[in-house]
Amino acid sequence: MARVSQEHLDARRRQILDGAARCFSRNGFHATSMQDVLKEVDLSAGAVYRYFGGKDELIAAIVNEVLTGIRNAFEEAARQTPPPPPDVLVGWAMDEVLGMGSGGPKKGVLTWEGEGNFPRLMVQVWTETMRNEELAAVMRDGFAKVRATWTKIVEGYQEAGMMRADIPADHVARTMIATAQGFAAQQALFGSAPVEVIQDGLRALMSVEPPRSGPSASAGPAR
């Protein structure tokens, strides 16, 4: 029997993950059966179960891949001294997450028919973690690693004098993550929007200055 190359095995695994991601994105986790995945990837049950024991393993593999990809991208950014400004960094990250790099839609679990798969998958995963403790543990571990990477980036801003240093870096990191997550959620719920939208919004927020003078300069919002 001819020996199957690692390249072939990796390509087959990639094929299965891509097909499963398309199914989950279109119909959700609960409405998608393994039979749907088999039909999507045009493989036998034996070929698919050689790589994944079932739907839960497929879901966990996709989540792990997405989180690892995001973390790796930001670890690369964290090595830059100083890191790119927040609007550039978050915009670039969203470009990566939505699968729409400068070369067009990327092949992989993050693209489906030319549109970013991640926003729809993200909402599905959030819902699934409410009932699936194993997946919730994967998400918690992945979020902790991503948060640690973002915290390093914020510390780089602070060390370079680009950002005030009297606010805990972790608090800023969480806020930046929430901004990216919120933009992705808007994509899933209300339709796609160019990455320039979040970049412009961040630039505007970064430009806010306290009022120069007047009785309301130190006052809170009117009630």
pLDDT tens-digit series, residues 65-111: 777 777 777 777 777 777 888 898 888 877 776 664 334 444 444 55
Rounded average pLDDT over 11-34: 88
Closest CA to 66 of 135, 121, 2, 131: 121
- Per-residue pLDDT, averaged over 29-55, amounts to 92
pLDDT of the residue at 168: 97
Closest among 72, 74, 196, 60 to 121, alpha carbons compared: 60
Q: Is the pLDDT of residue 215 over 60?
A: no
Instruction: State the greatest distance between any 2 C-alpha atoms of the chain, in Å, as a whole number.
Output: 85
Residue 214 clears pLDDT 70, i.e. is over it: no
Nearest to 187 by CA among 121, 119, 93, 125: 119
Residue type, 55: K
Round the average pLDDT of the chain to a whole number and report it.
Answer: 81
| pLDDT tier, 221 (very low <50, low <70, confident <90, very high otherwise) | low
Ranges 63-67, 177-181, 202-206, 218-222: which has the least confidence: 218-222
Q: How far is Cα 131 from Cα 133, in angstroms, rounded to an integer?
A: 6
Whole-number Å distance between alpha carbons of 141 and 139: 5
Torsion angle, CA of 39/43/47/51, rounded to 10 degrees?
-60
Q: 29 burial class (0-12, 13-18, 19+ CB within 10 angstroms)?
A: buried
Lowest mean pLDDT among 57-61, 116-120, 128-132, 135-139: 116-120
* 7-12: average pLDDT: 87
pTM of the model: 0.75
Q: Quick check: 2 pLDDT over 60?
A: no
pLDDT tens column, 133-169:
888 888 888 889 889 988 999 998 999 899 999 999 9
